[in-house]
A and B are shown apart, each in its own frame.
Chain A
Amino acid sequence: MMDTILGTINGVDFTIGETILELSYLLSAIFFVVGLKLLSHPESARKGNFYAAGGMLLAMITTILLHKNESGQAIGLANIGIITATIAAGGLVGSVIARKVKMTAMPQLVSFFNATGGAASALVALLEYPNADPSNTGSMLVTILGLIIGSIAFSGSMIAYGKLDGKVGDLTAGYMKYINLLFLILVTVTGTWLVVSNTPVEEMQWAIYSLFALTLVYGILFVMPIGGADMPVVISLLNSFTGIAAAMAGFIYNNQAMILGGILVGAAGSILTILMVRAMNRSLVNVLVGAFGGGGASADQVQGIIKEISVSDASILLSYSQSVVIVPGYGLAVAQAQHVCHELDNLLEGKGVQVRYAIHPVAGRMPGHMNVLLAEADVPYDKLVEMEDINPDMPNTDVVIVIGANDVVNPAADDDPSSPIYGMPIIRTHEAKNIIVMKRGMGKGYAGIENFLFFNDKTRMLFGNAKDSIQKLVTEIKTL
C-alpha cells in the first residue's frame, strides 16, 4: 500500500510512503520549533523538551520504515536490525550517563553530548563524500563544510569537556595564536581545494581523510587557549556549530527536517553566544583569540591593605543584618559548597534576614551555570536575582558575601579605563555597606588582574576553602 503511486512531479513518480515520510518531517520540524519556543519559558520548558523529543522520535521511526534511496529501494530488514540495535545501545548508554552523572558535572555533560553530535555530523559528511558529484560545487561545499564544522565541534567539545572536568589545563602561550592561524589556513586551503578541484572522488580519498584529521587537530587547538570565564562563550559557540553541521548534512539528503532543526539550533546557539560575549563587554574575536591577561599599567599599582575577618565576627555581622546578598562564582562550584550555602541562607532567613543571590550572566563555566548549581541545592529560584535587578539595591544591602567570584565583582570594570575588563557589566558589590569575600588565597581571577574590591575599606576577607568557611559560619551562627 505504501508503494502505491500517487502522482508524478517532473516525470518522477511519488508514492504514498514517500508522501507520508515528507509529512512526518514537516510535523517533526513543527515540533522542534514549538518545543524550542516552550523551552524558553520556565512554566512550559519541560513540555517543550518533550515536544522536541517527540518530533525527533517521529522522524527517526518514519525514516527507518519509509525511506527509499534514489533507485527506489527501501531500507533492508538486516539494515533495520543493525540500526535498531545501534539505537538501542546508544539510547541505553546515553540515558544511563544522563541519569547517573552528578548534577554538578552538568557543564561537562552538556559538552560531551555536544561532541557526540559533532562526531555524527562529521562521520556522515565523510561517508557521503564518495557519493558527491565533484562537478557540483554546491553539493561539494555543503559536504566539506559539514565535515569541517562537525569535526571542530567534536574535538573542540571534547577538549571543553576535559577542561570542565579538570582533566585538561589551559594552554595560554602567546604562540598558540600563530599555530591556530596556521591550522585555520591549512583547513581552509584543503577544504577549498576539495570543493573546487573537480577531481573524481576516488582520487581525493586521501585528501578528505587529511582534511578530517586537520580539522580534528584544529578543533583541539582552537579550544586549548580558551578557559575560565570564557568557557560559557565557547560552549554555546560549539553548540551552534553542531547545529550548523547537522543542517549541512540536511542539504546532502535534501531533508527539510534536518535543515530546519540544525539551523534553529545554530541560530539559538549564536544568540546565546552573543549574550555571553555582551555580558563581558567583549567581542567574539577577542574571546577566541584570547586577548585577556596582561593588564593595564595601573592594574598593578593598587595600593591598600587587605583586612581579614574572623568567623565569629562574620557570623555576628550576618546575624544582625537586614539584607544579605550572596554573589556566587565558579569557586562555589569547585568547592561543591552549594548545599551548605543554602543551609546558611535558610539559617539567616530564620533570623529574619532577607537573603538573595545575585547572578552574573557569565558566572561559572556555562551559560546559566549558577542557576543549575543552586537549583540542585534546592534554592528556590525566585531568590536568584539577575545582575540588572539587584544592582539598584546594592547601596541598601547590609552585607554582600562574595563566594568564589572575582572578575564579575571587580570595580575596575567601572572606573579604570586601562583595565582589560573596563566596561564589563559587574555586580556592584562595592556599593554595599559591608563586603565579605570568601577566597582560597590571594590569587588573581581568570583575567589575571588585581581586584580593587579586595582593597576596599568596607571589604573583609575570609580565607579558606569556601565549603569549610561556610560550614564554620553555619556552626557559629547556630550558637548565637
Chain B
Amino acid sequence: MEDILIYFFTYKEAIFIIALSIFLGIEVISNVPAVLHTPLMSGANAISGVIIIGGIILVGHADVSQLSIELILGILAVFFGTLNVIGGFVVTDRMLEMFKKKKKK
C-alpha cells in the first residue's frame, strides 16, 4: 500500500496526464461519423506506434559491441514499431485519399 502511494507521488504528473487524456480521448472522437470509423481506427493505431520511442531509447543505450539476445529483441522492437507507425499512417492516408476523390465528383 505504502509502495503504491510513493509511486503515485513520484509519478503524479504522469498519472494526471493519464486521467485527463482518457477524457480528452473520449471528447475528441465522440460523434465521429460511421464513414470515418475505419480511418480513425487505423490512424489511432498508427499513433499507438509511439512505442517506437521506447524502442529507440532501448537500442540507443544498449551495448552494441557484441550481438546479444537483448540487442536483437530491441532492434526487433524498433522494426515492429516502425512498421506500425509508417504502415499505419500510409494506409490511413490511402483510405482517406479514396474518400476525398469521391467527394469532389
A residues bordering B, Cβ < 8 Å? 32-33, 35-37, 39-42, 45-46, 48-50, 52-53, 56, 59-60, 63-64, 67, 69, 73, 75-76, 78-80, 82-83, 86-87, 89-91, 93-95, 97-99, 101, 103, 106, 109-110, 112-114, 116-117, 119-121, 123-124, 126-128, 135-139, 141, 235-236, 239, 242-243, 245-247, 249-269, 271-272, 275, 359, 361, 366-369, 371-372, 375-376, 378-381, 384, 386
Contacts and interface: CB of A to CB of B under 8 A. Distances in A.
Contact of B79 (A86, A128, A257): A86
B3 A136 contact: yes
B41 to A, nearest CB: 6
Interface string B92-104: 1111111111110
Contact of B84 (A35, A41, A117, A123): A117
A110 B86 contact: no
A386 B93 contact: no
Interface in B36-93: 36-62, 64, 70, 73-93
Contact of A127 (B40, B53, B74, B91): B74
B80 A79 contact: no
A466 to B, nearest CB: 21
B48 to A, nearest CB: 4
B83 A367 contact: no
A42 B28 contact: no
A80 B45 contact: no
Interface residues of B, number: 86
A331 B99 CA distance: 22
10 contacts: A95-B86, A98-B94, A114-B84, A124-B58, A135-B3, A243-B47, A246-B49, A260-B21, A371-B35, A371-B38
Nearest to B88: A113
B34 A48 contact: no
A368 B11 contact: no
B47 A56 contact: yes
B34 to A, nearest CB: 6
A32 B47 contact: yes
B44 A86 contact: no
B29 A56 contact: no
B82 A106 contact: no
A36 B88 CA distance: 14
B22 A120 contact: no
A222 B49 CA distance: 23
Contact of B61 (A69, A124, A376): A69
Given A36-B29, A113-B87, A256 B44 contact: no
B24 to A, nearest CB: 6
A137 B7 contact: yes
Interface of B: 3-4, 6-8, 10-11, 13-14, 17-18, 21-26, 28-62, 64, 70, 73-103, 105
Closest 4 CB pairs of A and B: A138-B7, A267-B25, A90-B82, A368-B37
Contacts of B38: 106, 110, 366-369, 371-372
A67 B14 CA distance: 19
Contacts of B88: 94, 98, 113, 117
A56 B50 contact: yes
A254 B76 CA distance: 22
A258 B80 contact: no
Given A46-B100, A260-B21, A381-B35, A106 B95 contact: yes
Contacts of A128: 54, 58
Contacts of A242: 45, 48, 84
Given A56-B89, A242-B48, A258 B53 contact: yes
B29 to A, nearest CB: 5
A63 B98 CA distance: 34
A32 B30 CA distance: 16
A120 B51 contact: yes
B91 A45 contact: no
B55 A46 contact: no
B46 A82 contact: no
Nearest to B38: A368
A33 B21 CA distance: 9
B82 A91 contact: yes
A380 B102 contact: yes
Contacts of B49: 56, 116-117, 120, 246
Contacts of A137: 3-4, 7
A211 to B, nearest CB: 15
Contacts of A56: 46-47, 49-50, 52, 85, 89
Given A45-B99, A86-B78, A127-B58, 10 more contacts: A33-B28, A36-B47, A46-B96, A83-B56, A91-B86, A114-B84, A120-B78, A123-B76, A239-B48, A264-B47
Contacts of B52: 56, 60, 87, 120
Contacts of B4: 137-138
A255 B84 contact: no
A91 B84 CA distance: 9
B69 to A, nearest CB: 9
Contacts of B46: 49, 52-53, 56, 113
Contact of A272 (B33, B40, B62, B84): B40
A120 B83 CA distance: 10
